Structure 1
C-alpha cells in the first residue's frame, strides 16, 4: 500500500484550498496519508523562503490575486485577510498529532476543519474552544486538546527537521514512497497521476 507523507501548516491558505482532495486521491489508490503538521514560518527561514509579510510588494500583490482566483475556481469560501491570521499554529498542530495517535476519528476532516476555521469562518485556531469544536466535529474526543502536549511539541519540531532533510520548502507538500515531491494544492492532479504509475 502506498503512503503519502503530507507536510502542511494549519494556517496555510494553500493547504486550505487543497480541501479534501488529498483524501479522495488516497482513497482512490488505496494509499494511506501520514499527516505531518509543521511550523511553516520556521520552514521558510530554513529553506530560503520569506514570510508573506516580508516579501516584495509584487509578490504580495500576486499572492493576493492568486488566492482569490483559486478559491473562486474551487468554489470555496475564502477571506483574504482573516481576522485571526497569523496566529499560533502549534496548539492546533498538537491536536492533529494527538488525533493521529488516537485514531478514533477522521484526521483529514480535522485538518480541513482547522483550515476552514481560519480562512473561511473567522475563528482563532489557537483558542482552546475552537480546537475542541474541531476535534468533536471530526469525531474525536475534545479532551485530546489537553493530552500529549509534550509529545505534540516534540513531534511538531521533528516534523520540521524531517521536512528540511527531505527537501520540503512550502505547504502543502506531498512526498510519495519513491521520493517524488509535489508542492502546492495545484499539483494534486500530478500526484494522482503518479500514484497510478506506482500500480504498474
Structure 2
C-alpha cells in the first residue's frame, strides 16, 4: 500500500508527524511517496492564512497547541525558531533531488524539519542543506547540483497543483487508498487504513 505524503518543509506539524509516519509505514509494509509542496501557493488557492498574517489570538493558540503536542508526544520543539518563516524552495528542491537520485528521502526531509524546529538552522542556505545531507551519509554535491535543475522546480510546482487537486489545504496531508487525512493527529486513522480496518474509498485506485 502507498501513502502520498503532501507536506511543507517548514511545517511545524509535519515535523511532529514526520518520523512517526516513517515508523507507521514500516510497521505495515507501506511505501511513502514524499511530495513536498509550497504551502503559500496551497493557501492562496484554498483560503488558508499564512502564520504571520493571522490574528494575534490565532497565533497565540497555535503556540499553546504546539506546547500541548510537544508534551504529549515527548518531541522537542523550538516554539519561535530563529529562521522562521524562511524560503522553502531550496530545501523542497533538495528533497526532490534526493528522491530522484534514489536516496533516503524520508530521512533527509525529517532532518530538514529538525534543522528548523530544534536546531535553529537556516534551511534556505545551501551550506545547511549540504551539511544535513553529509550528516546522513548522502552525496551532498549530487543533491545540490540536481536541485538546481529546472525540472526539479517544475516537480515542486506539479506537487503543489496535484495536492490542491486532491483537496489538500494544509500541511501535512496523507492520501492512502482514497482516504485523505489532514494533520499529524490523524495518523491513528491512517493506521486504520493501513491495517485493513477501513476499506478503500469509492473511486480509489486499485
Same fold (TM over 0.5): yes
RMSD: 1.5
**Does the alignment pair 1:64 with 2:79?**
no
Output the CA distance in 2 between the equivalents of 1:77 and 1:19.
13
Per-residue CA distance 1:42-81 (angstroms, 9 max, x = gap)? 1111111111111122211111100111112222221111
2:131 to 130, 133, 138: 133
Deviation at residue 108 of structure 1 after TM alignment: 1.0
Q: Partner residue of 1:77?
A: 76
Instruction: Please say which of residues 52-61 and 116-125 is displaced more in the overlay.
Output: 52-61
Q: Partner residue of 1:120?
A: 118
* Unaligned runs of at least 5 residues, structure 2: 200-206
**Does the alignment pair 1:14 with 2:18?**
no
Output the CA distance in 2 between the equivalents of 1:130 and 1:25.
28
Q: How does 1:36-115 map to 2 (within 5 A)?
A: 36-104=35-103, 106-115=104-113
Deviation at residue 172 of structure 1 after TM alignment: 0.6
Output the CA distance in 1 between the equivalents of 2:100 and 2:145.
14
* Unaligned runs of at least 5 residues, structure 1: none
Deviation at residue 152 of structure 1 after TM alignment: 1.5
Q: Is the 8 A contact 1:172 1:184 kept in 2?
A: yes
Q: Partner residue of 2:168?
A: 168
Output the CA distance in 1 between the equivalents of 2:137 and 2:176.
27
Output the CA distance in 2 between the equivalents of 1:46 and 1:136.
36
SS of 2:196 mapped into structure 1: helix
Q: Partner residue of 1:145?
A: 144
Output the CA distance in 1 between the equivalents of 2:169 and 2:59.
18
Deviation at residue 137 of structure 1 after TM alignment: 2.5
Output the CA distance in 2 between the equivalents of 1:157 and 1:73.
35
Q: TM-score, normalised by structure 1?
A: 0.94
SS of 1:6 mapped into structure 2: strand
SS of 2:115 mapped into structure 1: helix
Output the CA distance in 1 between the equivalents of 2:28 and 2:136.
23
Output the CA distance in 2 between the equivalents of 1:173 and 1:16.
12
Q: Is the 8 A contact 2:2 2:31 kept in 1?
A: yes
SS of 2:195 mapped into structure 1: helix
Q: Is the 8 A contact 2:192 2:198 kept in 1?
A: no
Q: TM-score, normalised by structure 2?
A: 0.91
